[in-house]
Amino acid sequence: MKGSVTFWTKENQVDWPGNDTISFFEKSFEGNSIFILKDSDSKLKFFHVYLGKGRTDVELDVKDLNVSERHFIVATWSVNSREISLYVDGGKLVKKQKIDYGIA
């Protein structure tokens, strides 16, 4: 199981350094879930829940993103390679996390 989510944020619509929480994406399928949000701590967070195997997440500090610019967000996951990743603006900010779901 693998996949990706990509989207643009509009200029002047996300207060990146602000303390509000904004949900960008949420999807569940057969108990598996992914979530992408900007949290009150000014971090962009990507959560991946794999039913019966666990949860992992990755986060990026986004308080310095320019509010007046659009930003391109990409989140990827792969159970086979055991990795989730979060990218902003084509790699300007990147965070990858190895995961252990307890599967062979």
Tens digit of each residue's pLDDT (9 = 90 or more) over 29-86: 888 889 999 999 999 999 888 777 777 889 999 999 999 999 999 999 887 787 889 9
pLDDT (mean) for 20-26: 94
Q: Who contacts 15 (Cβ-Cβ below 8 Å, separation ≥6)?
A: 67
Continuous segment of H or E residues that includes residue 22: strand 22-29
**Would you say the C-alpha torsion 47, 2, 29, 8 has a positive or negative sign?**
positive
Sequence ranges of the domains in the chain? 2-98
Q: What is the pLDDT of residue 104?
A: 47
Report the 3 state secondary structure along 27-77.
EEECCEEEEEEECCCCEEEEEEEECCCEEEEEEEECCCCCCCCCEEEEEEE
Fold of 2-98: Jelly Rolls (2.60.120)
Q: What is the pLDDT of residue 26?
A: 94
